[in-house]
C-alpha cells in the first residue's frame, strides 16, 4: 500500500500553535479539525475515532456545539425530570462554568482545558468537591449531546474525578445544644429542637404543615414530595420536641399552615435569619444546620437504636453515607478506653484468683 493510500485510510495529525490538528477524508473530501489537545497521543486517539466513524458510515466532522450548548441540555433535562437540584445546578453553571468555558467549542475541550479549569477554580478557593460538581455538569452535557439526533458531539472526553475529603466533623454535644438553644431567636428554637432530635434536613422541616404533626400518635409524617429521597418518612416526637412544637403552634399566626413559619404566613426563610449570630454567641462559629443531622445520627446510635431504624428516621438511603455521619468523637474514644480499662482490670482479678487459692 502506497503512502497516499495509507494517508487516505488512516489520516494524520500535525501540530500548529501548540495544539494538534487532525486531517482525514470523508467521502473523498479532506477534513481538517483541531483536536483541542496539546498531547499527540490524545489527538491520535481522536483521529482513530474519526476514521472509525467514517468507515462505519456515521456522521463525522468538527463539533460545532459549545460547552454552553451541552450544559443547556443538562438544565433542560433537570427541568423535564423535575429534579430538586435544578436551581443549584443552574447557579453552579451560570456562576462558574459559563464564564470560563461557556463559549468554548466542545471539540476543543480536552485534558488541557480541564487542567486549566481546575487550577483556576482552586485559585478562587473552590474545594475539590465543588469542582467535581461543576465538572459533572459538563460530563452529563457530553452524554446528552451524544444522544441527540443528530448528535451534537462525537466523543466524550475523559474527565477525572478529584479525590474528595468532605466528611465534616461537626456535631453537638448535649451541653452545646442547650447553650445554642438559649441563644437561638424564638423563631428558630422549635426548628433547632426538631432538627437535633430527628436529623431531618432543613429543606424537609421548612415544608412541614400542621396537619402532618400528630401529637396523639407522637409523630411527624413527611410526605414523598417533601423528602430528598422521595420516600415518605415518620419522625418520632420525643424529649423536648412536644413542648416546643406546642409553643410553636401557640405563636403561629392565624391561617398559617407552616409549622416553622416566617413572615407573611410563609415557611421560615432558607437562610435561617438569626442562626449565624446565635451560633457565634454560643461559641459554635462553624456550626451548620446540617450538623444537627450528624448529631442525631450519632445520638441514635449511642442510644442503641438499630441502624436500619435510625436510617429510616434520618432518611439515609445508603449505609456508606450513614456511616460517614455516625462520627466518633474524642468523648466516644475516652468512653471506650474506660470500658477497656475496666475489662483489663477484671481479667487481672480473674487470673489472680486461682493463684491466691493455690497459696
Residues 185 and 321 placed together within one structural domain of the fold: yes
Q: Please report, to the nearest 10 degrees, the dihedral formed by the alpha carbons of residues 252, 206, 78, 82 taken in order.
A: -50
Q: What is the pLDDT of residue 296?
A: 87
- Across the chain, what does the average pLDDT equal? 84
Q: What is the pLDDT of residue 237?
A: 92
Q: What is the DSSP letter of 264?
A: G
Of 25-34, 67-76, 77-86, 265-274, which gets the smallest average pLDDT? 25-34
For 354, the domain range is: 330-359
Residues 260 and 230 placed together within one structural domain of the fold: yes
Q: What is the pLDDT of residue 356?
A: 58
Domain-ending residue, one of 147, 165, 188? 147
Q: What is the mean pLDDT of residues 161-184?
A: 82
Instruction: Tell me if 155 is assigned to some domain.
Output: no
Total count of domains within the chain: 4
Give me the DSSP letters along 9-60.
HH-EEEEETTEEEEEEEETTEEEEEEEEESSHHHHHHHHHHHHHHHHHT---
Residues 222 and 122 placed together within one structural domain of the fold: no
33-47 pLDDT, tens per residue? 888 789 999 889 888
Residues 182 and 323 placed together within one structural domain of the fold: yes
320-332 pLDDT, tens per residue? 666 665 555 555 5
Instruction: Tell me if 160 is assigned to some domain.
Output: no
Instruction: Tell me if 164 is assigned to some domain.
Output: no
Residue 300: φ, ψ to 5°: -65, -40
pLDDT at 5 over 60: no
* Strand stretches in 159-256, DSSP E: 213-214, 219-222, 233-236
Q: What is the mean pLDDT of residues 344-357?
A: 69
Instruction: Tell me if 167 is assigned to some domain.
Output: no
Instruction: Tell me if 168 is assigned to some domain.
Output: no
With bands split at pLDDT 50, 70 and 90, how would you rate the model's confidence at 11? confident
Instruction: Tell me if 84 is assigned to some domain.
Output: yes
- Rounded Cα distance between 331 and 176, Å, is 14
Q: Which segment, 161-175, 209-223, 301-315, is predicted with the most confidence on average?
A: 209-223
- Rounded Cα distance between 175 and 181, Å, is 10
Of 137-151, 321-335, 339-353, which gets the smallest average pLDDT? 321-335
The C-alpha angle 118, 135, 48, rounded to 5 degrees, equals 95
Please tell me which residue, 318 or 107, carries the higher pLDDT value.
107
Q: What is the mean pLDDT of residues 189-199?
A: 94
Of 6-10, 69-73, 152-156, which gets the smallest average pLDDT? 6-10
Residues 110 and 210 placed together within one structural domain of the fold: no
Q: What is the pLDDT of residue 265?
A: 85
Q: How many CA atoms lie within 13 A of 109 on its CB side?
A: 29
Instruction: Tell me if 161 is assigned to some domain.
Output: no
Of 32-41, 137-146, 168-177, which gets the smallest average pLDDT? 168-177
Instruction: Tell me if 351 is assigned to some domain.
Output: yes
Give the pTM. Answer: 0.57
With bands split at pLDDT 50, 70 and 90, how would you rate the model's confidence at 2? very low
CATH of the domain at 307: 1.10.443.10
pLDDT at 125 over 50: yes
Q: How far is CA 7 from CA 1, 10, 54, 57, 305, in A?
A: 10, 5, 14, 19, 70
Residues 315 and 210 placed together within one structural domain of the fold: yes
Please tell me which residue, 315 or 266, carries the higher pLDDT value.
266
Residues 279 and 222 placed together within one structural domain of the fold: yes
pLDDT at 73 over 90: yes
Label residue 254 exposed, middle or buried (CB < 10 Å: 0-12, 13-18, 19+): exposed
Are 119 and 77 in contact, with CB atoms under 8 Å apart?
Answer: no
Residues 210 and 304 placed together within one structural domain of the fold: yes
Please tell me which residue, 70 or 154, carries the higher pLDDT value.
70
Q: What is the pLDDT of residue 150?
A: 66
Q: What is the pLDDT of residue 337?
A: 64
Residues 318 and 351 placed together within one structural domain of the fold: no
Residues 227 and 192 placed together within one structural domain of the fold: yes
With bands split at pLDDT 50, 70 and 90, how would you rate the model's confidence at 70? very high
Please tell me which residue, 192 or 170, carries the higher pLDDT value.
192
With bands split at pLDDT 50, 70 and 90, how would you rate the model's confidence at 8? very low
Separation of first and last alpha carbons in the chain: 100
Residues 184 and 311 placed together within one structural domain of the fold: yes
Please tell me which residue, 57 or 231, carries the higher pLDDT value.
231
Residues 127 and 205 placed together within one structural domain of the fold: no
Please tell me which residue, 34 or 145, carries the higher pLDDT value.
145
List CB contacts of 103: < 8 A, sequence separation 6 or more.
Answer: 66, 67, 68
Amino acid at each position: 500500500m502506497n503512502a497516499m493510500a495509507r494517508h487516505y485510510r488512516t489520516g494524520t495529525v500535525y501540530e500548529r500553535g501548540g495544539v494538534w490538528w487532525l486531517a482525514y477524508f470523508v467521502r473523498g473530501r479532506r477534513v481538517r479539525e483541531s483536536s483541542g489537545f496539546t498531547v499527540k497521543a490524545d489527538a491520535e486517539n481522536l483521529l482513530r475515532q474519526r476514521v472509525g466513524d467514517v468507515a462505519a458510515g456515521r456522521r463525522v466532522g468538527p463539533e460545532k456545539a459549545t460547552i454552553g450548548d451541552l450544559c443547556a441540555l443538562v438544565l433542560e433535562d433537570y427541568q423535564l425530570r423535575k429534579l430538586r437540584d435544578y436551581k443549584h445546578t443552574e447557579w453552579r453553571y451560570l456562576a462558574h462554568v459559563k464564564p470560563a468555558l461557556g463559549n468554548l467549542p466542545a471539540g476543543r475541550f480536552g485534558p488541557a482545558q480541564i487542567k486549566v479549569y481546575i487550577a483556576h477554580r482552586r485559585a478562587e478557593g473552590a474545594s475539590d468537591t465543588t469542582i467535581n460538581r461543576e465538572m459533572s455538569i459538563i460530563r452529563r452535557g457530553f452524554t446528552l449531546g451524544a444522544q441527540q439526533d443528530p448528535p451534537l458531539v462525537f466523543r466524550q472526553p475523559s474527565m477525572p474525578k478529584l479525590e474528595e475529603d468532605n466528611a465534616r466533623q461537626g456535631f453537638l454535644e448535649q451541653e452545646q445544644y442547650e447553650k445554642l438553644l438559649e441563644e437561638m431567636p424564638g423563631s428558630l428554637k422549635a426548628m433547632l429542637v426538631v432538627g437535633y432530635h430527628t436529623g431531618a434536613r432543613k429543606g424537609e422541616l421548612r415544608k412541614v404543615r400542621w396537619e402532618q404533626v400528630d401529637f396523639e400518635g407522637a409523630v411527624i409524617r413527611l410526605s414523598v414530595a417533601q423528602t430528598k429521597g422521595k420516600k415518605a418518612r415518620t419522625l418520632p416526637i420525643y424529649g423536648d420536641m412536644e413542648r416546643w412544637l406546642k409553643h410553636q403552634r401557640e405563636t403561629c399566626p392565624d391561617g398559617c399552615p407552616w409549622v416553622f413559619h416566617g413572615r407573611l404566613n410563609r415557611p421560615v426563610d432558607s437562610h435561617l435569619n438569626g442562626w449565624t449570630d446565635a451560633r457565634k454567641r454560643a461559641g459554635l462559629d462553624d456550626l451548620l444546620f446540617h450538623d444537627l443531622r450528624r448529631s442525631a445520627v450519632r445520638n441514635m446510635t449511642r442510644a442503641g437504636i438499630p441502624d436500619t431504624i435510625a436510617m429510616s428516621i434520618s432518611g439515609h438511603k445508603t449505609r456508606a453515607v450513614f456511616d460517614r455521619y455516625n462520627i466518633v468523637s474524642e468523648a466516644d474514644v475516652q468512653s471506650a478506653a474506660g470500658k477497656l480499662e475496666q475489662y483489663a482490670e477484671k481479667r487481672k482479678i480473674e487470673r489472680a484468683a486461682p493463684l491466691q487459692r493455690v497459696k
